[in-house]
Structure 1
Amino acid sequence: MGRKRNVDVQQVPRRIRTKQGGNANEYVDELLENARQWLIDNGYNNLQLPDADAEFSQEIFPGFELSGSAGFRSGSLQGLETILRSGDATLDTDGSLITISTGLGFQAVGGGYEAFLEFEGIEISTDVGLRINDIDIFLQASVDPATLAVTINQFNINDLGDIEVDLTGLGPLDWALGELVSFLKDLLGNILYDLLEDPILDALTQALGNIIPPTF
């Protein structure tokens, strides 16, 4: 889903650096260096995940099930500050504007939850590890080199990647593993887009407003 965002450069504190030449990759890498620092400075290197509750069940004999509950608390997600370029970037000119197009990804995004399970008087506490691989983002933005006014033409999260869940220590409730892993994957799949979109867009927009693009 594309989105346009116009930015008043007077609202953005600048650390302006001029790059000569038309090396799109170097320019994007410099933008991302700036964006990574902004994400860290604004606390987006450690995002809070929402609490969640799930139920699981075991069929004792045909037509009779016993149910348990699981609570996932104190969740966090790290790694937005590892954003990087994927593939080659391009720079194009259209009148006074320079347009940047590039693919983006992350070196490492992961996190975890504290999990609390209860089933028929059995209570278990354990930790959940999370890892998200191969997130694929496309960015196209236009910048006026004279004013550093920024327009985000496209910001598409094309693929939320592969979500890995590491849930161990269930002991006698190990039979519920598959059901709980599926629940957590669905949960992250539903919230990950919103968690990523605004921080990454804001980080990229301020970086574009800070650094003069290469001249041709």
Structure 2
Amino acid sequence: MRVIIFLAALLGVARGFVIHEEGHVIYEDSYVIENDNCPMARLARDYMPHIKTQEQLRNMEIQLRANMNQYVDHLLVNARTYFLESGLDPMTLPDYIRSFQKKVLGITWNGQLGINNGHLQDLATIYRSGDVNLDYKNKILLVDANLGFKDLQFSYDFKAKFMALGPKGYVVGRGNDINIQFKVHLDLDKGVAGLDLFDIKSIRSLTAKLQGLGVIVDWLIDFLANMVLVIFKGPIVVLIEHKVGDALSHVIANIDISSFIPRG
């Protein structure tokens, strides 16, 4: 079967047919858009009745993807301004207190780390990475994009209690190469859009450094720094998703999508 499909693909240049994913051969001359159930064909039937051929359909999809790339870029430009004007960048971070245990020389010691006066900045470095992916269901255009933050920086004051030590100082941290999944839907009948997903999938580089400690053993510095990173990857990431998601929903609701949607 693969050999037949391969030969058909070679001959297709001369004969004008295409190979669908299912392996079926359809001649360009015999293409009927009404029989095509792919998402873009369904969209074309609903809103661009002048599209009849596969070449027209491919060109429409290319143009629509380019438009949606521009749409996402446009809303991110607006989002950066909104972050700065609404006081989201820099963003105030909550206080956290975490208890812990650490065994030293065979003895288990209880300790506590408290961080306060926290701030996060550079949310305005948000950007799109790569082309969007498109789907279409029930007159709703679904846009899926990869976003990222070029650089996020955070800081906290901290105070710890452990053994006979009571170190305090401040911590500075940085996150780079942050991967975000972003989904938005566009209701083509109503001309409105809404946020479906803003999910931080991974942070490939995240560091925290404790400063202002004076003389203290290295292992305790590393231990406390790792505790701060655990807090960042947990509740702080959830907070960023919530705050930025709300801000993006506001921005999306105030963009006219009509100029980004080609019509027949």
Give the TM-score normalised by structure 1.
0.74
**CA shift digits 1:110-153 (9 cap, x unpaired):** 11111234566655442210112222111221213564422434
Q: Does 1:199 align with 2:243?
A: yes
Q: Which residue of 1 aligns with 2:69?
A: 25
**1:177 Cα deviation (Å)?**
1.0
**1:103 Cα deviation (Å)?**
0.7
Q: Whose radius of gyration is greater, 1 or 2?
A: 2
Of 65-74 and 162-171, more deviation after overlay is shown by: 65-74
The percentage of aligned residue pairs carrying the same residue is: 28
SS at match of 2:147: strand
Checking the alignment, whether the CA contact within 8 Å between 1:44 and 1:81 is kept in structure 2 is: no
Equivalent in 144, 152, 168 of residue 211 of structure 2: 168
SS at match of 2:256: coil
Checking the alignment, whether the CA contact within 8 Å between 1:56 and 1:180 is kept in structure 2 is: no
**1:204 Cα deviation (Å)?**
2.2
Q: Does 1:111 align with 2:157?
A: no
User: Taking structure 1 as reference, are residues 177 and 198 closer, same or farther at Cα in structure 2, changes over 3 Å only?
Assistant: same
Q: Which residue of 2 aligns with 1:42?
A: 86
Q: Which residue of 1 aligns with 2:130?
A: 87
- Structure 2 gap ranges (5+): 1-62
Of 72-81 and 141-150, more deviation after overlay is shown by: 141-150
**C-alpha separation between the residues in 2 aligned to 1:206 and 1:52?**
29
SS at match of 2:215: helix
Equivalent in 181, 188, 195 of residue 232 of structure 2: 188
Give the TM-score normalised by structure 2.
0.62
**1:211 Cα deviation (Å)?**
2.2
User: Taking structure 1 as reference, are residues 192 and 117 closer, same or farther at Cα in structure 2, changes over 3 Å only?
Assistant: closer
User: Taking structure 1 as reference, are residues 46 and 84 closer, same or farther at Cα in structure 2, changes over 3 Å only?
Assistant: same
Q: Does 1:178 align with 2:222?
A: yes
**1:102 Cα deviation (Å)?**
1.0
Q: Does 1:100 align with 2:148?
A: no
- Structure 1 gap ranges (5+): 1-20
Q: Which residue of 2 aligns with 1:156?
A: 199
**1:164 Cα deviation (Å)?**
0.7
Q: What amino acid sits opposite 1:72 in the alignment?
A: I
Q: Does 1:52 align with 2:96?
A: yes
Q: Does 1:135 align with 2:181?
A: no
**1:85 Cα deviation (Å)?**
0.7
Hey, which of these two has a bigger chunk of strand by percent?
1
Hey, which of these two has a bigger chunk of helix by percent?
2
CA RMSD of aligned residues (A): 2.8
